[in-house]
Amino acid sequence: MTNLVPYSILDISPIPQGFTAGDALRNSLDVAQHAERWGYTRYWVAEHHNMTGNASSATAVLVGYIAAGTSNIRVGSGGVMLPNHAPLVIAEQFGTLASIYPGRIELGLGRAPGTDPMTARALRRDLLGSDDRFPQDVRELQHYFGPIQEGQAVKAIPGANTEVPIWILGSSLYGAQLAAHFGLPYAFASHFAPEQLIDAMRIYRETFKPSDKLDQPYSAFVMNVVAADTDEEAMHLFTTLQQNVIRMRRNTRGQLPPPIDNLDDFCEPHEKATAAHALQCSAVGSMQTVRREMQRWLDLTGANEVIITGQIFDHQARLRSFEIAAEAAKGLRFNSAV
């Protein structure tokens, strides 16, 4: 049995060199507005902190900005890093968004800090909000989004009765196991940590327990897509992301760099190989090439949905990439027997 595959976007609001956070945020809204017309199902933004190349730190604020500028596309977090926040605060923020934009707001939750340890401490003031409490915090959030119970002392207003859909996000087997145990949808961050993707998807399907939120497993994976009219043009644009990954390994992060003609002039062979490994879940090329790679990864994972991310220096080239990716994704299918 085969089924059509929804396709969505994960955005970190990259700040290109020579531009500002305001430029990046306006670009994100522009992408979302186009994505709505191109048939994308959801538009997620990811929480990052203390990164000069990303403007997506205030996730709930950015979700509201994107939702206000669009009409029907689902908007959410991919994700909120829950250890950084009290569950009640997130319930109130996303409950407020769901009250303003009913039926459109989603909450993806991760257990990583989304930053370095020093910044994590600055965010939390202490480290009591540790990732060890992640399962309990997820349950607490579900409680706040549900009906108010008799005698309930602490309530999320807005938040109660909104039943904001929750996804579990991850880049290891832990998130897959937790999502399966809670009976929640699951998304894997294979765009930067692909090693355990196949095993995580298998474990999620095999151990899934139906819940009142979901009666059967539903999974998605994130892949880098850099699309252009030709394979050669796309490979040139892709050097931006390759440079970014290499700079992260060097601990010399910065704003998103422009593409370069020859990556070998920028890095050593071992650095290029490390970047290739980290970015193996990518589709780079023309529409035909991108479609082929998307289908290959869908076949490998058995996922229900593909989430596309694309860090491209030039905004118009980025728009064109997402447009081509949408055309490539139309008609993709997953095999429910995987």
- The CATH number of residue 74's host domain is 3.20.20.30
Q: Which of 179-188, 218-227, 244-253 has the lowest mean pLDDT?
A: 244-253
- CA neighbours closer than 13 Å in the CB half-sphere of residue 336: 8
Are 79 and 179 spatial neighbours (Cβ–Cβ below 8 Å)? Answer: no
Mean pLDDT of 239-259: 95
Name 105's bridge partners.
75
Number of domains in the chain: 1
Here the tokens at position 324 are 């081509």
- Taking only the tens place, the pLDDT of each residue in 137-168 is 999 999 999 999 999 999 999 999 999 999 99
pLDDT range class, residue 116, cuts 50, 70, 90: low
Predicted confidence at residue 1, as pLDDT, reads 41
Which structural domain range is residue 222 located in? 2-335
Percent of the chain surpassing pLDDT 90:
87
pLDDT range class, residue 289, cuts 50, 70, 90: very high
Q: Please provide residue 4's backbone torsions phi and psi, each rounded to the nearest 5 degrees.
A: -70, 145
The position carrying tokens 């207003």 is 157
Beta strands in 68-192 (DSSP E): 74-81, 105-110, 166-170, 186-188
Are 63 and 28 spatial neighbours (Cβ–Cβ below 8 Å)? Answer: no
The position carrying tokens 């601990």 is 251
156 SS3 class: coil
Here the tokens at position 136 are 């309990």
The kind and range of the H/E element at 334 are: strand 333-335
Q: pTM of whole model > 0.85?
A: yes
Residues 6+ positions from 143 with CB-CB distance below 8 Å = none
SS3 percent helix, strand, coil of the chain, rounded to 5, is 45, 20, 35
Here the tokens at position 241 are 């992301």
Q: Which of 60-64, 78-82, 166-170 has the lowest mean pLDDT?
A: 78-82
Neighbours of 300 (CB within 10 A): 14
